[in-house]
Structure 1
Amino acid sequence: MPCDLHVHTSASDGTDVPQKVVEDAYRAGLSALAITDHDTVDGIPPALEAGRKLSICVIPGVEFSTEEDGHELHILGYLFQLDHPGLLEQLAFFRRTRLERVVKMVERLRRLGIPVELEQVLELAGEGAVGRPHVARVLVQIGAVATVGEAFEKYIGKDRVAYVPRYKLAPREAINLLHRAGGVAVLAHPGLTRCDYLIPRLVEHGLQGLEVYYPAHSQEMVWYYEKLCRRYHLVATGGSDYHGSGHREHGCLGASTVPDEVIWSLKELAGQQTGPTNI
């Protein structure tokens, strides 16, 4: 049965609440999905509850943005302890730095004469982790741009006039944090970052998997990363990077999937001996 191990909700920059995401996964015929919101686990409890009602497996996950040698690398974490003190402390710090970043972006936009209000951005983010997508959507709402893509291209994309860099861990720090919380660390969409020379270094730091199956990966990339997984004894995972049905790039839940056996492998690495049933 197909499993999508890279899914976002409104707890971070997705557009759908966790319950709806799980319901959509059930209707799409998925047997499991991992909730991997950016820098937050707030979407996991409601997703777990929805999964129990529908008998669909929901895997606790998270996605960290890290930086190594000037390259941004995303680390996916799976099956960690949701109440681990060190993890919760780091996530609280991320929430504070995300808010500080958005405040600075709003200030820059206002200096440019764009009448965006911080309250609008925070209202749109709700209880979720606030970020650039929320700023972009407000810019669309007030008519400053026509699309979210235009907002990034003109104002808040990297090196644009209102861009503010975000705080990032080093990959080793993210991997160690996940291990301390009992989780498994996987490098997300390596074909996008094109920093394959860093993979052996990440393996030395404790990386346990590669996201091999991903919508933007060509077949040649898939074969190459499968080979790397065999060479370094890594789990080959996969997922859609779903952000909501209306998302311009990541709008197809289940676009890339893996079989149930991958969940078994992740659970073995995390020291959990149960099978791919609802957690």
Structure 2
Amino acid sequence: MAEAPVIVAADLHTHSSVSDGTETPAELVAAVAAAGLGAFALTDHDSTAGWAAAAAGARERGITLIPGMELSTRIQFASVHVLAYLIDPLDEALLAETARIRESRFTRAEEIVRRIGRDYDLTWDDVLSQTTEGATIGRPHIADALVARGHAATRSDAFDGILHWRRGYAQPHYAPDPLTGIRLIRAAGGVPVLAHPGTRGAEDVIPEDKLRRFVDAGLFGLEIDHPENREGSKRRLRELAAKYGLAVTGSSDYHGSGKPNRLGAYTTPPEVVERIIAEGTGTSPVFG
């Protein structure tokens, strides 16, 4: 009889070049190994296309992979992301919704580039040159194109400058509301966690009445230990997590060289990882 796999602490939020990371899924696994991590989740934006390559790398290197996705949702003009662990990648409703989101991201990106191109030397081909085949194209790729053209020093500089909403070039893309997203994730056998809900400060932590509805719909947890959550927000979020019985997760939100976030900056303890695995029925973890 095979021994039960050992569950270890995991970095539960990483991105590959399938969305807006700078490393392929295989390169990401190598980076996870180099960082000394025993487990991680691949959570590309609105896509599971990197799962197979990441799983192969995880098996080779003896690393546990929690297959996941970062689902785009929106409350009016505010972007709210929901991490979706162990979903069924073939669930028809979720596939239809993510296809709609990716198409909207694409057309939104084209329009942003058209607007920027009126004032700066930037073309759609410049953006495409910063992507890989099948990638979910978005603003990070526009930022990389701006850097390549010399209009910004780094991706972060591009977001703080030309791509900041105050500059007038940005526009929202389609995304469902978080309540719909949570229900879709649960219906696909997945485990939903609100991603980095404290980046805007304690005064902008998600309203409690909305959070209560999310919990009723099946929300599993809050990603509180995250490099971009503010300290005041973290305190309030821990209070809400305790009040509503939500799990607390930790992760780096690693994007390779696309962000300063480093692998393993925060991790999720084994007991919470084990709960996610127990609740996820859409797909199985990969135990390397």
TM-score by length of 1: 0.89
* Amino acid across the alignment from 1:207: L
Aligned counterpart for 2:273 among listed residues 260, 263, 275 = 263
Aligned twin of 2:124: 118
Aligned counterpart for 2:181 among listed residues 174, 184, 204 = 174
Distance 1:4 1:139, change over 3 A: same
SS in 2 for 1:242: coil
Aligned twin of 1:32: 39
1:83 aligns with 2:90: yes
1:58 aligns with 2:65: yes
Q: What is the CA distance between 1:262 and its match in structure 2?
A: 1.6
Contact 1:71 1:195 in 2 (8 A): no
Partners of 2:159 and 2:231 lie apart in 1 by: 29
Distance 1:237 1:54, change over 3 A: same
Deviation string, structure 1 residues 132-181 (Cα, Å, up to 9, x no partner): 11111111212233333332233222232321222221001111111111
Q: What is the CA distance between 1:46 and its match in structure 2?
A: 0.8
SS in 2 for 1:159: helix
Partners of 2:76 and 2:211 lie apart in 1 by: 12
5+ long unaligned stretches in structure 2: 1-7
Deviation string, structure 1 residues 16-49 (Cα, Å, up to 9, x no partner): 1111111111222211100111111112211111
Contact 2:205 2:237 in 1 (8 A): no
Distance 1:150 1:30, change over 3 A: closer
Partners of 2:192 and 2:280 lie apart in 1 by: 10
Partners of 1:236 and 1:79 lie apart in 2 by: 17
- 1:86-105 equivalence runs, <5 A: 86-105=93-112
1:41 aligns with 2:53: no
Contact 2:88 2:283 in 1 (8 A): no
SS in 2 for 1:138: helix
Identity %: 36
Partners of 2:282 and 2:87 lie apart in 1 by: 10
Contact 1:44 1:60 in 2 (8 A): yes
5+ long unaligned stretches in structure 1: none
Q: What is the CA distance between 1:224 and its match in structure 2?
A: 4.4
Deviation string, structure 1 residues 65-111 (Cα, Å, up to 9, x no partner): 32225533221110101122222222222221111011111111222
Partners of 2:37 and 2:59 lie apart in 1 by: 14
C-alpha RMSD of matched pairs (Å): 2.3
SS in 1 for 2:11: strand
SS in 2 for 1:156: coil
